[in-house]
């Protein structure tokens, strides 16, 4: 089975973090999420539907997001809109601070070497 | 949310998911239409491509909600059950075939377990041994390799406390039970006081004999078996410390053994010596304080070795013992050698050979079954190739398909395990009921958990092996290629039929081996029945009587009893003749003695010839139907005061007077002073089995016999019609002379012969039924391959017919294909059967292991069956309509 690769290309939890962050700014349905992440990352990150939907289901199961069928005002079609829950917000904050610390650590390890190499 | 509610909510979740994905795809399509200004269908294709496999996304999203392994296993199981429902015949065939194979293997393994593997049912069985006396090297004492001990030797063995923690002697005996219901003859054993402690058993009630009770004057105690206590004494515990009448003397019941204890049993001991079939009671051996001269060696011995002593160390100690005995008893120098046998091995005895035969036969059947099922599964996997391909194309991962197939085959394996268990239970029951009584410990056989685990292991193994083999093939499937194929002819099609043909060839070969084996055994059986046994078994009643020494203390009183009985027996209406003998044919070995031929100087160092020695009465040969070849039989006039006479058998005559007339020559038996004159020659009588080559034998009239062994005698009555008709009159006649003498072991010579043949019959029936099963399986396998090939070649045959091939040509082509498949199988089978001959030789009689008649007829039979298996497919092929066949593409 090789289908998990896209999410593993980043690190575990990265996709969920981005989804939660996007939803924190604005509730959205799957299609909109793909576009949102793509635009926010300056087209650097391509989110595949194959990863997005399982990730959404995981978040739903852990009650970090909730979903509701509505009619989209812009396209006038039935869409399932995801909204971040309170648990989702605190989870996101924890994850972001953990991510920051990790980034800090990585930078410290890589930093000096990169300076001399430059 | 509780897991319980989650289960019920799940369907809603899945529906949402599916709809959501549909909407997503729709939105994406519209976006592409707008962005790239293409038609809707083009946009849809592009969107699907970008989207990826919707099924996989759905499945993986659903998995988030599942307990992954457990639930997909359940899903797989449901799917597998659906598959079984779709093709119930297929599943049923496989379950029944393998169940049969596994069941028979389990049944046979259960027997092997009970007879050979399971420890004997006594505490610390590994330290129990049976030391046998062995005759000095180079001396033939009538073919016995192991002999019992005499009392002097046993007394010395009892002193070997460095080797044996306890040791006991035992000897079979007959007991007339009177005073409680009809008189009955019971089979029992005389045992020394150390016998029970050596075996390490405990009485269920009461106690064992004390050392004091094991001496003359104190020996009137008896211990009952559980079976006897229940049958004759209504399981009444108050029998303890009461006296029962045995052989006319009161014996106090001191103990009752636990159920199942019946040591010694005849089928657990060497066949040459007489032991009870099931010992019913035990009395003290009570050896005299001083052993008289010429005491026969009749004591078997069981010993429990000191802790930590190995069999080899015990043997070494017994060799030292033999040298000491030689020094102490120079007269019997060389006669105290021994062979120490583990009780476990002793009990298993010769049963290894028939069990190996059974195991080999059943293993062949299982192999055939496996090939058969492998063939079926291969074909099925091939026909299901398209299904696998479609599922793979729809997004099923390879592992997913493999897992699903594995579940399916394990499910079938489970069903096979159950079917196998049922067959095993039935098989063990059948063997217990119909199996030969000579097979020791049959009573202990049962399908126990270990044996069932064995069966289940086979079940799982076959399930995984034959389940995964096609599954691996399926998983390797190239989707595009397979989908392009019409399903009629696939790339895999070339290899699978070849493999299946190989399977069929193997089945035919194995079946041929089994059928040849059963053919040889059937021929053996009929050769044995047809062989001249020296007697005519039809219309002969036989029974045993035992005259108690209290009432018949000497040979005079004993002889008088027979002198009264014989004329009375002959006067019963319907009786043709009557006689008595010490040894009934098919009743076991006779006594033997060394002889000296008068007038023939014994060369120095020569041991005296040893011959069978049987005491008989006038009328015996007529009653047995044994032809008198020359001279006369023994007569009533051959009394003590007349010159002693003897009748010899042809084997003895040929051995010692090859070119002379033995009539008038004289033989001296060492225990007698006057030599006996040979007055007649009779045909050789077989004693233990129809297989044996009769040895030299001499007969002496009971009226001239001085041995005191005549108290136990076999009566032979030849009748004009059914022997059963005279049983009542016979009983009356005996009761008329002495009301305390029961008729024991009432039987017919026909029954005795048939019992002696039980082992042979069992081997023959067992191997034959496996042979029939094998042929059926091979026929099914052949039929499967041929009809499958016909289905595959429908188009080709259609073209042939369209181009002018005659129906007959097509018919012959398919029959030829069937013969072509079975031909190599038959050839390989013949070679294998020739190789197998060596194993089978010891089971055969009057037929060679490479008997051309058997080999030819069995090969022909299998060829006929091959033709038979091809008939129906050939007919179907011949009736193919070319138009329809070509339109099928």
The 3-state secondary structure of B309-335, one letter per residue: CCHHHHHHHHHHHHHHHHHHCHHHCCC
Rounded to two decimals, the pTM is 0.68
Look up tokens 């033995």; give the residue.
B662
Domain boundaries, position B39: 3-66
* pLDDT digit string, tens, across residues A42-68: 777 777 888 888 888 889 888 899 888
Residue B719: its H or E element: strand B712-719
Identify which of B274, B185, B264, B173 has the alpha carbon closest to the alpha carbon of residue B543: B185
User: Nearest 5 degrees, angle CA B752-CA B755-CA B759?
Assistant: 150
pLDDT on residue A4: 40
Establish if B854 belongs to a structural domain: yes
- The set of residues, in sequence order, having a beta carbon less than 8 Å from that of B391 and lying 6+ positions away, is B401
Residue B338: how many other CB atoms lie within 10 Å? 22
Could you tell me if B574 and B715 lie in one domain?
A: yes
Residues belonging to chain A with any Cβ–Cβ distance to chain B shorter than 8 Å: 1, 3, 29-31, 48-50, 53-54, 56-58, 61, 67, 69, 75, 77-80
**Hey, which of A9-18, B293-302, B314-323 has the most confident mean pLDDT?**
B314-323
Distance of CA B283 to the CA centre of its chain: 34
Total of domains in chain B: 4
d(CA B17, CA B821): 55
ipTM of the assembly? 0.79
User: Please, which residues have CB within 8 angstroms of residue B777's CB and are 6 or more apart in sequence?
Assistant: B97, B365, B368, B369, B372, B507, B511
With CB atoms and an 8 Å threshold, state whether A50 touches B57: yes
What pLDDT is attached to residue B489? 46
B266 within domain boundaries:
yes
Separation in Å, CA B290 to CA B90, B216, B217, B671: 78, 11, 14, 21
- Long-range pairs of B556-559 with CB within 8 A, sequence gap ≥ 24: B558/B708, B558/B710, B558/B711, B559/B702, B559/B703, B559/B710
Task: Determine the pLDDT at residue B206.
Answer: 92
Indicate whether B552 pLDDT > 90. no
B567 and B701, same structural domain?
yes
On whether both B472 and B596 belong to a single domain, the answer is: no
Q: Is the same domain home to B719 and B794? A: no
Q: Is B61 on the interface with A (CB under 8 A)?
A: yes
A50 neighbourhood in chain B, CB within 8 Å:
52-53, 56-57, 60
CB atoms within 10 A of CB B349: 18
For residue B127, being part of any structural domain is answered with no
Beta carbons within 10 angstroms of residue B510's beta carbon: 25
The reply to whether B842 falls in a domain is yes
Indicate the SS3 state at residue B366.
helix
Under 8 Å CB pairs connecting chains A and B tally to 60
Half-sphere exposure of A112 (CA within 13 A, CB side): 3
Final residue of a domain: which of B336, B365, B397?
B336
Q: Do A57 and B65 touch (CB under 8 A)?
A: yes
Q: How confident is the model at residue B706 (pLDDT cuts 50, 70, 90)?
A: low
What's the mean pLDDT when you consider all of chain B? 84
- The 3-class SS string of chain A reads CCCCHHHHCCCCCHHHHHHHHHHHHCCECHHHHHHHHHHHCCCCCCCCHHHHHHHHHHHHHCCCEEEEEEECCCCCCEEEEEEECHHHHHHHHHHHHHHHHHHHHHHHHHHHHHHHHC
Lowest mean pLDDT among A103-112, B776-785, B856-865: A103-112
The verdict on B316 and B397 lying in the same domain is: no
Q: What is the mean pLDDT of residues B437-445?
A: 75
A67-81, B77-91, B236-250 — which is least confidently predicted? B77-91
By mean pLDDT, which of B64-68, B413-417, B656-660, B790-794 is the weakest? B64-68
Of B27, B65, B399, the CB nearest to A75: B27
Average pLDDT over residues B129-144: 78
Question: What is residue A7's predicted lDDT score, i.e. its pLDDT?
Answer: 38
Q: Express each pLDDT in B711-753 by its tens digit.
A: 889 999 999 988 988 999 999 999 999 888 888 888 999 988 8
| Higher-pLDDT residue of B725, B331 | B725
Chain centroid to CA B586: 21
Residue of A nearest to B51 (CA): A49
Distance CA B575, CA B718 (A): 6
Residues paired with residue B166 on neighbouring β-strands, in sequence order? B304
In a domain, B71, yes or no: no
Q: What is the pLDDT of residue B568?
A: 95
Lowest mean pLDDT among A99-108, B94-103, B474-483, B818-827: B474-483
Lowest-confidence segment of B242-251, B284-293, B723-732 by average pLDDT: B284-293
Average the pLDDT over B567-576 and give the result.
94
Strands (E), B285-400: 300-305, 338-342
What's the confidence (pLDDT) of residue B221? Answer: 93
Q: Are residues B478 and B588 in the same domain?
A: no
- B298, B158: one domain: yes
The number of residues making up chain A comes to: 118
Determine the pLDDT at residue B74. Answer: 74
Same domain, residue pair B477 and B357:
yes
pLDDT band at B471, cuts 50/70/90?
low
B881 vs B825, more confident: B825
Q: Which pLDDT score is estimated for B650?
A: 94
Helix axes B758-792, B491-530, angle to 10 degrees: 160
- Dihedrals φ, ψ of B782, to 5°? -60, -50
Provide the pLDDT for residue B147. Answer: 84
Q: How confident is the model at residue B9 (pLDDT cuts 50, 70, 90)?
A: low
**CA nearest neighbour of B82 among B380, B376, B464, B411:** B411
Min Cα distance A102 → chain B (Å) is 27
Contact A49 B26 (CB under 8 A): no
CB contact under 8 Å between B57 and A53, yes or no, is yes
Q: Do B21 and A31 touch (CB under 8 A)?
A: no
Contact by Cβ (8 Å): B234, B187: no
Residue A43 CB coordination number (10 Å): 8
Q: Are B611 and B697 in contact (CB under 8 A)?
A: yes
N-to-C CA span, chain B: 56
pLDDT (average), residues B252-276:
86
Flag whether pLDDT at B454 surpasses 80.
no
| Cross-chain CB nearest to A49 (options B13, B52, B63) | B52
In Å, what is the CA distance from B35 to each residue of A36, A73, B24, B30? Answer: 17, 21, 16, 8
Question: Given A3, A61, A80, which is nearest B60 (Cβ)?
Answer: A3
CA quadruple B410, B414, B415, B421: dihedral, nearest 10: 150
| SS3 category, B408 | helix
The tokens for B690 are 């129809």
The pLDDT confidence band at residue B623, using thresholds 50, 70 and 90, is very high
Q: In angstroms, what is the C-alpha Rg of chain A?
A: 16
CATH for A5-117, options being 1.10.10.10, 2.60.40.420, 3.40.50.720, 3.90.780.10: 1.10.10.10
CB contact under 8 A, B56 and A3: yes
The residue from B301, B336, B371 where one domain ends is B336
Q: Is the sign of the CA dihedral B552, B558, B562, B564 positive or negative?
A: negative
Contacts of B731 (CB under 8 A, 6+ apart): B743
Which of B18, B43, B66 is the C-terminal boundary of a domain? B66
* CB-CB contact of B168 with B301 (8 Å): yes
Structure tokens at B472: 């691996």
Residues B470 and B573 in one domain: no
Assign 3-class secondary structure to B238-252: HHCCCEEEECCEEEE
Q: Mean per-residue pLDDT for B153-177? A: 90
Of A54, A67, A80, which has the smallest distance from its Cβ to B60's Cβ? Answer: A54
Report which of residues B366 and B129 the model is more confident about: B129
Backbone torsion region of residue B247, taken as left when φ is above 0, otherwise alpha when ψ lies between -120 and 50, otherwise beta: left
Q: Residue B488's pLDDT is what?
A: 45
Distances from the Cα of B689 to the Cα of B267, B395, B433, B582, B767, angstroms: 15, 71, 22, 17, 21
B730 & B798 share domain: no
Q: Does residue B73 fall inside a structural domain? A: no
A32 to chain B: closest CA residue? B24
How confident is the model at residue B356, as a pLDDT?
Answer: 83
Q: Which residues pair with B176 in a beta bridge?
A: B185
pLDDT greater than 70 at residue B512? yes
Pairing mode of beta strands B744-748, B676-682? unpaired
């Amino acid at each position: 089975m090789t289908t998990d690769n896209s999410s593993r290309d980043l690190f575990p939890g990265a996709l969920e973090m981005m989804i939660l962050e996007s939803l924190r700014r604005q509730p959205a349905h799957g299609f909109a999420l793909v576009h949102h992440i793509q635009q926010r990352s300056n087209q650097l990150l391509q989110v595949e539907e194959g990863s997005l939907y399982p990730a959404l289901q995981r978040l739903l199961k852990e009650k970090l997001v909730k979903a509701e069928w509505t009619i989209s005002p812009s396209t006038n079609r039935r869409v399932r809109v995801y909204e971040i829950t309170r648990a989702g917000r605190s989870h996101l904050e924890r994850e972001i601070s953990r991510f920051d610390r990790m980034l800090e650590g990585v930078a410290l390890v890589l930093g000096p070497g990169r300076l001399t190499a430059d | 949310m509780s897991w319980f509610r989650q289960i019920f909510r799940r369907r809603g979740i899945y529906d949402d998911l599916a709809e959501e994905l549909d909407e997503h795809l729709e939105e994406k399509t519209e976006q592409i239409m707008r962005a790239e200004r293409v038609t809707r269908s083009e946009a849809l294709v592009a969107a699907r491509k970008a989207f990826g496999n919707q099924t996989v996304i759905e499945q993986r999203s659903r998995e988030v909600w599942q307990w992954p392994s457990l639930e997909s296993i359940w899903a797989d199981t449901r799917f597998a059950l659906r598959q079984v429902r779709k093709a119930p015949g297929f599943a049923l065939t496989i379950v029944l075939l393998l169940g049969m194979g596994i069941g028979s293997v389990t049944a046979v393994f259960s027997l092997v377990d009970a007879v050979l593997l399971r420890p004997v049912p006594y505490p610390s069985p590994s330290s129990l041994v049976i030391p046998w006396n062995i005759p000095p090297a180079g001396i033939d004492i009538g073919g016995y390799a192991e002999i019992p001990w005499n009392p002097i030797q046993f007394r010395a063995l009892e002193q070997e406390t460095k080797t044996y923690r306890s040791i006991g002697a035992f000897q079979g005996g007959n007991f007339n039970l009177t005073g409680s219901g009809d008189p009955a003859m019971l089979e029992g054993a005389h045992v020394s006081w150390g016998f029970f402690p050596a075996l390490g058993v405990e009485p269920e009630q009461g106690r064992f004999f004390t050392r004091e009770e094991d001496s003359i004057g104190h020996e009137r105690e008896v211990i009952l078996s559980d079976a006897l206590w229940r049958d004759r004494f209504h399981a009444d515990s108050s029998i303890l410390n009461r006296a029962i009448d045995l052989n006319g003397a009161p014996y106090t019941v001191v103990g009752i053994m636990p159920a199942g204890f019946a040591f010694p049993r005849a089928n657990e001991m060497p066949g040459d010596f007489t032991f009870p079939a099931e010992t019913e009671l035990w009395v003290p051996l009570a050896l005299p304080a001083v052993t008289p001269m010429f005491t026969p060696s009749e004591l078997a011995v069981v010993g429990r070795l000191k802790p930590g002593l190995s069999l080899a160390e015990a043997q070494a100690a017994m060799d030292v013992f033999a040298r000491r005995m030689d020094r102490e008893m120079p007269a019997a120098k060389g006669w105290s050698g021994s062979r120490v046998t583990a009780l476990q091995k002793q009990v298993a005895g010769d049963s290894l050979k028939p069990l190996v035969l059974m195991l080999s036969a059943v293993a062949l059947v299982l192999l055939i079954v496996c090939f058969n099922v492998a063939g079926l599964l291969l074909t099925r996997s091939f026909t299901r190739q398209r299904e696998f391909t479609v599922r793979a194309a729809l997004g099923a991962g390879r592992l997913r398909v493999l897992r699903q197939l594995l579940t399916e085959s394990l499910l079938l394996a489970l069903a096979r395990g159950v079917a196998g268990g049922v067959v095993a239970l039935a098989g063990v029951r059948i063997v217990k009921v119909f199996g030969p009584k000579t097979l020791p410990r049959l009573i202990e056989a049962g399908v126990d958990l270990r044996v069932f685990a064995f069966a289940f292991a086979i079940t799982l193994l076959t399930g995984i092996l034959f389940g995964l083999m096609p599954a691996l093939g399926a998983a390797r499937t190239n989707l595009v290629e397979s989908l392009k194929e019409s399903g009629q002819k696939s790339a895999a099609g070339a290899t699978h039929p070849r493999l299946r043909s190989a399977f069929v060839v193997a089945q035919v070969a194995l079946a041929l081996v089994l059928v040849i084996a059963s053919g040889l055994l059937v021929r053996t059986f009929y050769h044995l029945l047809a062989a001249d046994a020296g007697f005519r078994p039809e219309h002969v009643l036989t029974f045993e009587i035992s005259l108690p020494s209290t009432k018949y203390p000497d040979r005079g009183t004993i002889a008088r009893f027979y002198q009264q009985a014989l004329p009375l027996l002959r006067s019963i209406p319907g009786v043709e003749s009557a006689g008595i003998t010490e040894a009934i044919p098919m009743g076991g070995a006779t006594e033997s003695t060394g002889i000296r031929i008068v007038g023939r100087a014994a060369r120095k160092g020569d041991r005296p010839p040893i011959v069978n020695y049987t005491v008989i009465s006038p009328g015996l040969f007529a009653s047995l139907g044994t032809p008198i070849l020359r001279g006369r039989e023994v007569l009533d006039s051959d009394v003590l005061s007349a010159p002693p006479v003897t009748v010899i058998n042809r084997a003895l005559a040929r051995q010692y007077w090859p070119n002379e007339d033995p009539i008038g020559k004289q033989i001296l038996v060492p225990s007698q002073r006057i030599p006996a004159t040979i007055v007649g020659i009779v045909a050789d009588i077989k004693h233990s089995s129809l297989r044996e080559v009769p040895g030299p034998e001499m007969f002496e009239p009971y009226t001239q016999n001085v041995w005191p062994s005549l108290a136990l005698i076999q009566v032979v009555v030849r009748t004009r019609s059914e022997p059963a008709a005279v049983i009542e009159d016979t009983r009356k006649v005996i009761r008329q002379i002495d009301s305390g003498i029961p008729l024991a072991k009432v039987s017919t010579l026909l029954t005795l012969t048939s019992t002696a043949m039980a082992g042979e019959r069992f081997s023959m029936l067992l191997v034959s039924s496996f042979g029939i099963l094998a042929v059926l399986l091979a026929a099914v396998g052949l039929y499967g391959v041929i009809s499958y090939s016909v289905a595959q070649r429908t188009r080709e045959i259609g073209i042939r017919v369209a181009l002018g091939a005659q129906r007959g040509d097509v018919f012959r082509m398919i029959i030829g294909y069937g013969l072509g498949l079975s031909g190599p199988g038959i050839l390989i089978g013949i070679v294998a059967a020739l190789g197998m001959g060596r194993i089978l030789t010891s089971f055969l009689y009057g037929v060679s292991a490479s008997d051309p008649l058997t080999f030819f007829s069995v090969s022909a039979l299998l060829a006929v069956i091959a033709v038979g298996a091809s008939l129906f497919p050939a007919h179907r092929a011949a009736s193919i309509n070319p138009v329809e066949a070509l339109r099928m593409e």
